[in-house]
Structure 1
Amino acid sequence: MKTKAIIFDNDNTIAKIYPDPKNFWLDVFVEALRRCGGVAPQGQAEELMIAYYRNDDFIDKMMHAGVNCDYDEFQRIKGIVDEEFRLKTINEGSSHLFADAVEIFAWARANNMKIMVATFTTREVVEAYFQKAGLQKPDSIYDWNDSMKYSWKKPDKRIIEHLLDPYGINLDEAIMVGDRITDIQTGKNAGCRSVLVVRKDEDGEYSDVMLREIESEKANSPESPKIPDNIIDSLSELRGILS
């Protein structure tokens, strides 16, 4: 089956997040807390951030941190902070598209493939990355504001369907590419091929943790949607997979 669309995650898949994903997300989270009247207890900022992403008693923990808004308002504020921080680092040049992403976009365009992005940053940020690199913007983007509107988060397959349906592209004609297991699950849940890109220079030891989890899934649940069809170190390897 000919591939007609490649759906990319953004953070750490096509774009370098400054200074690294974990610390960037933590900086955004702490600033969002501050704007909502809260402050993380000494040494607990990362724990609180993880509770937020996992939705693990976060409401109660927010109250203890002094946050004076509800969860939906915190989400809205965090989206604003995230966009502000990212646009600043893009303009400074410290956050940018990876070279292998720019290369594979050119190859995909030359082979008449649609380029799509499924991310939880904003459309403005994604388009700024592409504009900074002098590239045509993606054909379709599912962004933070879409997730707020529809309440679909990875690994919800409706994200993939939302991107493909306007172009009449079938699920088996698309491939999902990301750097997290949730990206793989999103593609698999939708019935797409899924490719994991592992950027050890960016993720450090987390890459090893993730790869061990995948090996465990292979041994214990061979049909698990957490298992990618391919694991690559560079997006350039997509040429061989899709040719």
Structure 2
Amino acid sequence: MSTQQIALITGANKGIGRGAAEQLAALGMTVVIGARDPERGERAAADLRVGGGDAHAVTLDVTDPETIAAAARQITERFGKLDVLINNAGITGSGQVDPSRAFDQVPSTVDLDMVRSVFETNVFGVIAVTNAMLPLLRHSPAPRIVNVASHAASITLLSDPEGPFAGLLPSAAYTPSKSALTALTVQYANEFRKDGILVNAVAPGYVDTDSNDHTGFLTVAEGAAVLVRLATVPADGPTGGFFAADGPVPW
């Protein structure tokens, strides 16, 4: 089995996932770009190869068990292991920023089908992908799992009426899904602690991406940096934590 480090990033054909792929490739890792659209995934991988990175694409929809299983088989056949899994794929539930849909997620009027779809991707999809890739991660001498959450996942921050997020509209979909993801991160970390699999959640910050109609003030590279930092922590690094670029995020 190769000693080359292999990283899989879901939703990596653009945005923060793409940024993390570029940075991990620059560190010398082989990067597997998971994308729902195979053409976009292949283009992203080709762009990384042009830049000197070792990149490959797999078709991977985190809500589709067949594509998850197929991706696991492809990684097994080609590499035999996985050193880093970054669960980056996620949806807001309201699409890109649209003033006419600002109240879509208010709990008292939310569409339950929308809530289910958000949780299907942001929470259940993470479980499905993580569990499918676990046999590959167990073949790594230093496996790392990074779950991409948000500052909005912090119940401490969101419940403070004088805090930085006091002006946000209440959300019954995206925000609770990310809180659930951080809680799930702790449970995986507790299960895998004895096995040396380090599992952490990260909040990239308000990054300039499609999901916020490019209103974010951080660059993709800046947002991706914390993903890469937690994907490359040493054996004595943290597990079961929730981190942003400037340090731990309160639960």
TM-score, normalised on structure 1? 0.44
TM-score, normalised on structure 2? 0.43
Q: Which has the higher contact order (CA 8 A, sep 6+)?
A: 1
